Amino acid sequence: MDKVVAFKMKLKPGKKNEYRQRHAEIWPELVGILGESGVYDYSIFLDEETNTLFAVQKVREGGGSQSLGDNPVVRRWWHYMADIMEVNPDESPVSIPLEEMFYLS
């Protein structure tokens, strides 16, 4: 069964346009890796008041992007994004899972 995964991340102040530009030019190999991991629908929204990024992924059973930290392309992307986002010591984005409270289909 497919699932929806939501999480939040934090953008550094003043980095909205840079974040948007980098994602407009997302690497094709990263898109491929996400697809191979089961992610087939992925949106990221910004709350400009708090610089909070809100991500929603539709994921095929057993998949997801949250376990791709060993992939060298993913690690390169993390490094590429580290200067504009809050990151962990390994440069992965600080990512906080969100609990689904309501769903209307």
* Catalytic residue ranges: 23
C-alpha distance from residue 17 to each of 11, 12, 14, 43, 102 (Å): 11, 11, 8, 16, 31
What is the residue-wise DSSP string for 25-90? Answer: T--HHHHHHHHHTTEEEEEEEEETTTTEEEEEEEE-TT--GGG-TT-HHHHHHHHHHTTTB-B-TT
